Amino acid sequence: MDTPATTSRPLILNVEDRDGPRYVKSRILHRADFSVLEAATGQAALSLVRQHAPALVLLGMKLPDISGLEVCRLLKGDPETARTLILLTSTGLADARQRVEALDCGADSYLVEPAEPEEVLASINSLLRLRGAEDAFRRTTQTLHESEDMFRQLAESLAEVVWILDPGEKRLLFVSPSFAALLGHTAEEVLEDPRRCLDRVPPAERPRLEAAFMNMLRSGRMDIEFQLTQPGNEIREIRARAFPVRSTAGADGRSLRVAGICQDVTPQNRALRTLRDEERRKDQFLAMLAHELRNPLAPMRSAADLLQQLSPSREDMFRARDVIGRQLHHLTRLVDELLDISRFNQGKITLRQDLVELRSALNTAVETVRPLLEANGHTLRLSLPEQPLPVRGDLVRLTQIFSNLLHNAVTYTPAGGQVSVEATTQDGNVTVRVRDNGAGLSDAMRRQLFDPLAPEHGSGDTNAEAQRGSALLDGPGIGLTLVQKLVRLHGGRIHAESPGPGEGSTFIVVLPVEPWQNWHPPSGMGVPRSGPPRTVMLVDDNIDALEAMTMTLQTLGHTVVTAPDGQSAVARAASVRPDVILLDLGMPAMDGFETARRLRALPELRGAKLVALTGFGQPEDRRRTLEAGFDLHLVKPANLDALTRLLDGLDA
């Protein structure tokens, strides 16, 4: 018995009880480059097959112990050896019955001896090629099944819908189970009728989606976003993408399948819109800041120009002084509020609860927009009752409300237009109507004016109306959403009326009137009381600020020493021995914090009050100044009453 070869050549088991024929067959097989094992009995053949798993058994029909048919039947009946190829051989003429019997017992082929060596080898090679093809097909099938299982597991684990389409038959071949959660139909329903995908698409979206689908059938590609109404009537935004799966074997490279994915992009789109909205709000805030600050600056500039004339009358001087005083107060409050970005973004608005003469707020609002009125050639009619209009609230915020309404009326009214402000009282309320003959509003736009989350304007809006609606919703000024909030915080309400686009608009504000018995008009600003004289050191790199503050403090009877920078202040402080040091923070070379540290180190200044006088007024700025050793933090422009109380309270 030969030993099995150790090479990679196919191993053949040659089973024959006769020595001569067995030797001849083995020689033929060796010359054909096969490895060969030999067996003379049926039992030996069974044992060698189980030990060495030959590629093929060349099995003689007649054996001394058991027949070749029985050996074949036993090998094919054992799962461990069932796939072994068996070529049965018999001597003499084989009739049809013998061939059928051989094939019935499981033989893969049958050969009648004597046979030429070429016929023997051809039969063996034919069986080996067939087995090689079967093994390759089995491996390919197994790999395909594994890939399909992996693909299905992956598709089933994804929230996105994965699908495969036959573009030729316009038939879906696969849809992942997540389809039901996303589109409201089961995968089976869609596989049966793909047009059910359109059931929940809004009618306005369907033509665009169908056009994209037809183009996908031709090109194999698609990338489209559309809206979908889910079973709970919730609108979702879906992105559908597709790409062709082409044949690598075909020379034409035609598309055999189209694979795609449907993804719910509602959260991403909302986040993107939020980000864009924040960017837009930031830009609008800066525009609003510029707008709100310029409003009081315009009348202040006019008053300053009047005072700079060679010989203004006494009446003009008093009038200019009053304008500057009112607008400076208004400007200071605006800066305090508008620069507090965190409170603005969070919608935290604090109102003063004063008794306000509403006519004063209306007059100041008209005063702020008068330059814009004159620049556009508008006519303004102001109609106010003779009696006072006392309301409980915040003068600056009330002025903002009507300044914004007037500014929008002036901006969106053609040149030479008419703007009117009319106030009336009835049933314990004061009603203010701001009317223009400008762009006007449609019913849909009017309903959306005070809704910051209103959808895009419809196609029916005129350009002028859409432009005005966008501006009214988002700017300029503080915007109608904030106007509405301010009106409500004052216990009032606001709404808009308009005959239609191009017919003008009227904004109506209704506020509760404070009972007359609670109304005590302010007596006006008195001269601050002057306490004991103090020695004050002013440190500021702004020369105009130094001069103005020096004149104010000297008028109150105090001694003032100035220093234009930190180095000068440190050099002079020990000899001056001031009671109070008003110190700017944002100075070059040596800032206020370093200057304060050095001043605190001087023994001559142990009893001095160190006050930060700065344009930085955020809570973090106040915390830093206290940690740096300052006794007090004042924001520019410093209130005269606050300075007087500070200097008067040094002895307390």
Q: Average pLDDT over the chain, rounded to whole?
A: 78
For residue 152 the two structure tokens come to: 């299905």
In this structure, the answer to whether residues 628 and 601 fall within a common structural domain is: yes
What would the pLDDT profile of 131-144 be if each residue is shown by its tens digit? Answer: 888 888 888 777 76
Task: Name the strand (E) or helix (H) holding 580.
Answer: strand 580-583
Which range has the worst mean pLDDT, 101-110, 236-245, 544-553? 544-553
Whether residue 643 lies inside any domain: the answer is yes
Other CB atoms within a 10 A radius of the CB of residue 567 amount to 14
The DSSP result for 459-477, as a single string, is TTS-HHHHHHHHHHHH-ST
In this structure, the answer to whether residues 189 and 101 fall within a common structural domain is: no
In this structure, the answer to whether residues 283 and 259 fall within a common structural domain is: no
Task: Name the strand (E) or helix (H) holding 562.
Answer: strand 559-563
Whether residue 16 lies inside any domain: the answer is yes
User: Helix/strand/coil (H, E, C) string of 43-102?
Assistant: HHHHHHHHHHCCCEEEEECCCCCCCHHHHHHHHHHCCCCCCCEEEEEEECCCCHHHHHHH
Domain boundary among 213, 239, 264: 264
Whether residue 434 lies inside any domain: the answer is yes
What would the pLDDT profile of 525-542 be if each residue is shown by its tens digit? Answer: 444 555 688 899 999 887
pLDDT of residue 155: 59
Q: Which residue has the higher pLDDT, 60 or 518?
A: 60
In this structure, the answer to whether residues 219 and 79 fall within a common structural domain is: no
Q: Is the pLDDT of residue 342 over 60?
A: no
pLDDT of residue 431: 93
In this structure, the answer to whether residues 488 and 624 fall within a common structural domain is: no
Whether residue 146 lies inside any domain: the answer is no
**Could you tell me the CATH number of the domain that includes residue 176?**
3.30.450.20
Whether residue 4 lies inside any domain: the answer is no
pLDDT of residue 97: 74
Q: Is the pLDDT of residue 477 over 50?
A: no
Whether residue 269 lies inside any domain: the answer is no
Euclidean distance between CA atoms 382 and 400, whole angstroms: 17
pLDDT of residue 151: 65
**Could you tell me the CATH number of the domain that includes residue 353?**
3.30.565.10
Reply yes or no: is the peptide bond before residue 512 cis, omega within 30 of 0. no
Q: Is the pLDDT of residue 522 over 80?
A: no
pLDDT of residue 61: 85
Whether residue 142 lies inside any domain: the answer is no
- Tally of domains within the chain: 4
Q: Pairing state of beta strands 161-166 and 390-393?
A: unpaired
In this structure, the answer to whether residues 172 and 75 fall within a common structural domain is: no
Q: Is the pLDDT of residue 114 over 70?
A: yes
Average pLDDT over residues 607-631: 81
Question: What percent of the chain stands above pLDDT 70?
Answer: 77
**Could you tell me the CATH number of the domain that includes residue 53?**
3.40.50.2300
Note down the domain range covering 336: 278-518
Q: What is the pTM of this model?
A: 0.39
Q: Is the pLDDT of residue 96 over 80?
A: no
In this structure, the answer to whether residues 432 and 555 fall within a common structural domain is: no
What would the pLDDT profile of 322-337 be if each residue is shown by its tens digit? Answer: 778 777 877 776 676 5
